[in-house]
Amino acid sequence: MSEHFDSYDASYGEVVEGSIRFSGLQHDFFLAAKADLLRRLVGERCLRQGGADVRGLDVGCGVGALHPYLDGAFDRLDGCDVSQKSLARARRDNPHIAYTACTTDRLPYQDGAFDLAFASCVVHHVPPASRPNFFHEMRRVLRQGGERTLDLPGKGSC
């Protein structure tokens, strides 16, 4: 699977723009909207209470296109992906983000390491039979009481 996504390291922007052209909107519009939703989730779920750092995980981060829009949303943001080439580009474009390759069914993080885990435009790439484990892994890496969002839906209150 990683070979398929490795082919997008240089053409990601063109592929995305081509797939959303029908909307009349640019990719930036959707990235900003996703970032706004994540910022609201951090606030609404009171993840900043008690002065503790808020740590986020972007599962299937690709080239890290969303990450510049998340500046300040998390005290620490990590990203993981199956594509080494995409991660190389993400590291180059976002040197302040911690990127890790994930080439197994288990996320390469300890239990309870994150406050919020999210996957943006990823779940449809996960084979249906593998989705229960995908979601289990996202839950496993969340701290007790942590939140997750899949393809960025959901709201809550404090």
pLDDT of res. 41: 86
Residue 109 lies in a domain: yes
CA–CA gap between residue 74 and residue 150 (Å, rounded): 17
User: Looking at this protein, which amino acid is placed at residue 151?
Assistant: D
d(CA 136, CA 142): 10
Asked if residue 59 is part of any domain, the answer here is: yes
| 107: CATH | 3.40.50.150
On whether residue 155 sits in a domain, the answer given is no
pLDDT tens-digit series, residues 126-135: 999 999 999 9
Spatial distance between the Cα atoms of 11 and 158, rounded to a whole number of angstroms:
41
Indicate if the pLDDT at residue 123 is higher than 60. yes
Q: According to the model, what pLDDT value does residue 85 have?
A: 93
* The overall pTM is greater than 0.85: no
State the distance between the two ends of the chain, measured CA to CA, in whole angstroms: 39
Q: Is residue 158 part of a domain?
A: no
**Inside any domain, residue 156:** no
Any idea which residue has 């081509």 for tokens? 18
pLDDT value for 121: 87
For 14-66, the pLDDT digits (tens) are 766 667 667 777 888 889 999 999 999 888 776 666 557 899 999 999 999 99
Residue 28 lies in a domain: yes
Indicate the number of domains in the chain.
Answer: 1
Task: Examine residue 89 and state whether it is found in any structural domain, yes or no.
Answer: yes
Do the domain assignments include residue 157? no
Residue spans of alpha helices (H) in the chain:
2-6, 12-20, 27-44, 84-93, 131-140
Extract the tokens encoding 115: 């406050």
Using alpha carbons, list the distances in angstroms from residue 82 to 28, 90, 106, 135. 24, 13, 12, 16
Q: List the domain range (segments joined by +) for residue 37.
A: 2-150
Confidence of residue 86 (pLDDT cuts 50, 70, 90): very high
Q: What is the mean pLDDT of the chain?
A: 83
